[in-house]
Amino acid sequence: MIQPERILVLNDDIVRDRSFVLYWMQAAQRAEWNHALEYAIRQANRIGKPLVAAFSITDNYPEANERHYAFMLEGLKETQAAVAKRGIQFVILHGSPERSIPTIAQKADLLVTDEGYLRIQQQWRRTVAEAVDCKMVEVTTNLIIPIEEVSEKENYSAGTLRPRIHRQLDKYLVALRHTKPKHSSLDLKFKSFDITDTEKALQKLAIDRSVKASPFFTGGISPAKKRLRHFIKHKLDDYADKRNDPMQDCQSNLSPYLHFGQVSPLYIALEIMKTDSPGKDAFLEELIVRRELSHNFVYYNHRYDDFDALPPWALRTLNFHAKDKREYCYSLEQFENAQTHDPYWNAAQLEMVLTGKMHNYMRMYWGKKILEWTKRPKNAFQIAIYLNNKYELDGRDPNGYAGVAWCFGKHDRVWNRRPVFGKVRYMNAAGLKRKFDPDAYVRKIQNLREKYL
């Protein structure tokens, strides 16, 4: 079902009578469980035209590097083949979507796209909507509930957003019916960037090559579904109790696939809900409430990647303690190269650099210690954003921005005052030892380092 609340008209133009309906795929890089794609198919069938899908690859997406592009291309290759099986041509355009999409849309009756919440994603959609001369529609598909249906303003904690979400879950947690296109677009002629060989495609792109592809993650819906099946079978029962222990490996590891829109959060939620697992509620809290809270943050707070996005109480207390003496101070280079005195922090940094994903509990500790070991909290915030975005496959994402901001007080409460942190929550190595064996974690990451470096 495609609820009307998912559909947003972005301009005042009309549906034309041209050659095809165009679906600009950008944030939802998948051929199934995609409300935007299904809406486009149904509109094409209604007006009796074929549907063309297009994706625009830009060389200079902010803070993206070869690790991100490789994962994305692997997924796009699978998506291209999947939509072709449905009679839909998938055109890969090389260039900024602000230019490439209006060009291909010159022959489109209607332009449909998926939703994006970061500044650049919203800017792209506004610019394209102004540039095209046909009706443009945005369809929400990467959240369970459309963001403005939950709240019309930024919420300051999960506690305020959770009841708003729960009131509407029955309406939106419903399966999406897939529609067969009535007219094939496979015989239409377009110039498309070749992504059949990921390595060759990467070499044709003028991108940042400072971080290589992850040896642990392959992009695409098939790997995502495989991880989901494994998670449900082997990890979900223990998720509530063991998800904060890096040695138990109870996390789903689906966040990179969610970031690139290669798997639908609705599909994941419905698969989890089929189980009677004791870990079900804890996982759905993270997938729905916490994830949608992070999107609420970046959508309503356009300074989400800036220190000033923190709540007033956190800014006051951190700035008040900005000149407190630090026992240790490190530079960006030392942090990046895992050269601190703390073997647990160094292991967390190495896990991120090596694999493209740090365990979530260690990511909290990692962010807190950057705050503690940097001369000024504002600089610490920027260092955490920079490292998270550079190495994490799920970086440059609402969850990532909210996660970093949480380390500095966002979506959290006031705690007892202490040096450096003020009233922001504190974490230390003793806390790690109460939850798991951090020395075993260090040995685990050292083994990975010996294998892959």
Whether 271 and 173 have beta carbons less than 8 Å apart is answered as no
Q: Percent of the chain, pLDDT > 90?
A: 98
Q: Where are the beta strands (DSSP E) in 129-233?
A: 135-139
Whether 415 and 378 have beta carbons less than 8 Å apart is answered as no
Whether 270 and 175 have beta carbons less than 8 Å apart is answered as yes
What mean pLDDT do residues 357-370 have?
98
Q: Give how far the C-alpha of residue 278 lies from the chain's centroid of Cα atoms, to the nearest Å.
A: 26
pLDDT of residue 281: 98
Tell me how crowded residue 379 is: count the other CB atoms within 10 A of its CB.
16
What mean pLDDT do residues 397-424 have?
98
Position 265 in a domain: no
pLDDT at 336 over 90: yes
Position 380 in a domain: yes
Handedness of CA 247, 360, 32, 266 (dihedral sign): positive
pLDDT of residue 69: 98
Whether 180 and 86 have beta carbons less than 8 Å apart is answered as yes
pLDDT of residue 451: 81
pLDDT of residue 110: 98
Query: What is the rounded distance in angstroms from the CA atom of residue 145 to the CA atom of residue 165?
Result: 8
Confidence of residue 86 (pLDDT cuts 50, 70, 90): very high
Confidence of residue 255 (pLDDT cuts 50, 70, 90): very high
- Number of domains into which the chain is organized: 1
Position 384 in a domain: yes
Whether 313 and 412 have beta carbons less than 8 Å apart is answered as no
Q: What distances in angstroms separate CA 190 from CA 77, 80, 205, 223, 410, one per listed residue?
A: 17, 14, 20, 29, 47
Query: What is the rounded distance in angstroms from the CA atom of residue 334 to the CA atom of residue 126?
Result: 40
Predicted confidence (pLDDT) per residue in 129-171, tens digit: 999 999 999 999 999 999 999 999 999 999 999 999 999 999 9
Q: Is 131 exposed, middle or buried (0-12, 13-18, 19+ CB in 10 A)?
A: middle
CATH number at residue 437: 1.10.579.10
Tell me how crowded residue 169 is: count the other CB atoms within 10 A of its CB.
16
Position 215 in a domain: no
DSSP class of 32: S
What mean pLDDT do residues 231-255 have?
97
Question: What number of CA atoms fall less than 13 Å from residue 60's CA on the CB side?
Answer: 3
- The DSSP H or E segment spanning 158 is helix 158-166
Instruction: State the alpha helices, DSSP H only, in 337-376.
Output: 343-355, 360-372
Mapped onto helix, strand or coil, the DSSP state of residue 11 is coil
Maximum Cα–Cα distance across the chain: 70
pLDDT of residue 46: 98
Average pLDDT for the chain: 97
What mean pLDDT do residues 68-83 have?
98
What mean pLDDT do residues 358-385 have?
98
Query: What is the rounded distance in angstroms from the CA atom of residue 53 to the CA atom of residue 108?
Result: 11
Query: What is the rounded distance in angstroms from the CA atom of residue 293 to the CA atom of residue 341?
Result: 34
Q: What distances in angstroms separate CA 340 from CA 369, 405, 450, one per listed residue?
A: 10, 22, 19
Position 375 in a domain: yes
What tokens were used for 280? 């079900």
Q: Is 20 exposed, middle or buried (0-12, 13-18, 19+ CB in 10 A)?
A: buried
pLDDT at 306 over 90: yes
pLDDT of residue 1: 82
Residues in the chain: 453
What mean pLDDT do residues 189-208 have?
98
What mean pLDDT do residues 393-412 have?
98
Position 330 in a domain: yes
Q: What distances in angstroms separate CA 336 from CA 109, 157, 449, one per listed residue?
A: 49, 31, 15
pLDDT of residue 383: 98
B/e letters for 306-341, b = 16+ CB within 10 Å, e = fewer, are ebebbbeebbebbeebeeeeeeeebeeeebbebebe
Domain extent at residue 374: 303-452
Handedness of CA 292, 293, 296, 298 (dihedral sign): negative
Which single residue is written with the structure tokens 């995502």? Answer: 224
Query: What is the rounded distance in angstroms from the CA atom of residue 181 to the CA atom of residue 192?
Result: 21
- Interior angle at CA 148, CA 147 and CA 150, nearest 5: 70
pLDDT at 453 over 80: no
Tell me how crowded residue 221 is: count the other CB atoms within 10 A of its CB.
21
Position 48 in a domain: no
- Interior angle at CA 225, CA 222 and CA 226, nearest 5: 85
Position 434 in a domain: yes
Q: What distances in angstroms separate CA 273 from CA 171, 234, 282, 286, one per listed residue?
A: 15, 16, 12, 14
pLDDT of residue 452: 78
